[in-house]
């Protein structure tokens, strides 16, 4: 309940949005301040007045230019307001239907201004994605350019990468995105977002020939190995390499070919105490041990590597002990002698 008893028709309040010419025919007053609220939001009178207008247009279902302007005012105060963004989207769709798609160009400019201030606003990116899909094919390049600009300032902006995924998927821009991620990785091999995006492309794009083995070999030679040789201790290329075997169908054990061994040995040739390379090599032998044929020999190799990791990476010594115990248990289950 509110204890306010204010006459907002007084000339002292002529500056309120609801008192402007375009709204004077609408009977609206600022929403009241809830006196019983434990922690009432510190809304300004101007914002409460706009919320009063919002309540009226929601009730009437109005979708017009003035409503579009109202949402801009609300968003300028609270850019995270789902209600304001949702109303803006529904209003925009109606105006585009009535007046033409040219309005969408102005909307892109509007969103650009907001992104310049806060490029990590979820509602902004959700709204932009809907606009981009409504614009269709002719706007796809502009969307990639827009996200590329954002990523120059913040290479790990989750919203920008997610937006790229939506655009690439909607318009089949797989080859272009593969090239983009390779460039991003070349510029910064530690950009785990770029590695993740590249895996997304490989997992979701239509396969041209279905030769997964050839794809894995190409990615190792052209992307993984150069990155590992440049920064052996960087975990990103190793995680990507594991994904090539676990996420691309058909899945394959790490010992399914010589690629993993090649990467591990290349990294260890640069840094003998490289933890992620040693772990990769240990997991290679774990897979080899469970593949049969050389179980005991491979298990011994894995045990030795996990023992070495306890020394190389003492912070996670307990974890490496656990991994070593697992290998011994699996070997015993298979009846292999580790003596």
Over residues 168-180, the mean pLDDT reads: 97
By annotation, the residues acting in catalysis are 120
Give the Cα separation of 100 and 93 in Å (integer). Answer: 10
Task: Give me the pLDDT at residue 2, please.
Answer: 45
Residue 132 has pLDDT above 70, yes or no: yes
Q: How many CB atoms lie within 10 A of CB 121?
A: 19
> pLDDT exceeding 90 applies to what percent of the chain?
77
Is the bond preceding 86 in cis, omega lying within 30 degrees of 0? no
* pLDDT at residue 194 in the model: 98
Q: Describe the crossing of helices 235-246 and 259-270 by its angle, rounded to 10 degrees.
A: 170
Q: Is pTM, for the whole model, over 0.85?
A: yes
> Nearest to residue 233, comparing CAs of 196, 189, 182, 277?
277
Residues 44 and 76 sit within 8 Å (Cβ to Cβ)? no
Mean pLDDT across 253-268: 96
**pLDDT interval class at 84 (50, 70, 90):** very high
Residue 315: pLDDT over 80: yes
**Rounded average pLDDT over 302-315:** 96
Q: For position 34, what pLDDT does the model report?
A: 66
Which one, of 280, 279, 302, 281, lies nearest residue 290 by Cα?
A: 302
**Lowest-confidence region among 85-89, 203-207, 277-281:** 203-207
Q: What is the pLDDT of residues 108-122, one digit of tens each?
A: 999 999 999 999 999
């Amino acid at each position: 309940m509110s204890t306010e008893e204010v006459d907002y028709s007084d000339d002292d309040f002529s500056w309120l949005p609801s008192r402007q010419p375009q709204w004077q025919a609408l009977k609206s007053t600022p929403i009241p301040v809830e006196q019983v609220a434990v922690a009432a939001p510190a809304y300004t009178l101007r914002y409460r007045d706009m919320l009063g207008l919002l309540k009226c247009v929601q009730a009437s279902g109005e979708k017009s230019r003035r409503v579009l302007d109202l949402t801009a005012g609300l968003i300028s105060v609270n850019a995270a307001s789902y209600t304001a963004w949702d109303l803006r989207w529904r209003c925009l769709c109606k105006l585009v239907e009535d007046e033409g798609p040219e309005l969408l160009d102005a909307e892109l400019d509007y969103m650009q201004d907001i992104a310049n201030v806060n490029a990590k606003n979820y509602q902004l990116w959700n709204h932009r994605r809907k606009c981009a899909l409504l614009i269709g094919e002719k706007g796809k390049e502009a969307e990639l350019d827009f996200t590329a600009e954002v990523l120059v300032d913040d290479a790990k902006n989750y919203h920008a990468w997610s937006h790229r995924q939506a655009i690439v998927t909607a318009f089949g821009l797989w080859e272009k995105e593969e090239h983009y991620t390779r460039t991003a990785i070349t510029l910064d091999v530690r950009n785990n977002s770029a590695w993740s995006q590249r895996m997304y492309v490989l997992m979701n794009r239509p396969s041209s020939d279905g030769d997964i083995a050839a794809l894995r070999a190409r990615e190792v030679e052209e992307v993984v190995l150069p990155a590992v040789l440049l920064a052996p201790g960087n975990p990103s290329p190793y995680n990507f390499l594991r994904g090539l075997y676990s996420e691309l169908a058909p899945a394959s054990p790490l010992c399914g070919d010589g690629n993993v061994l090649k990467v591990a040995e290349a990294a260890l040739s640069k840094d003998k105490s490289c933890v992620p390379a040693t772990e990769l090599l240990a997991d290679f032998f774990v897979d080899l041990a469970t593949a049969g044929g050389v179980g005991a020999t491979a298990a011994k190799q894995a045990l030795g590597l996990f023992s070495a990791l306890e020394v190389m990476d003492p912070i996670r010594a307990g974890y490496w002990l656990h991994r070593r115990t697992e290998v011994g248990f699996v070997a015993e289950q298979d009846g292999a002698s580790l003596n």
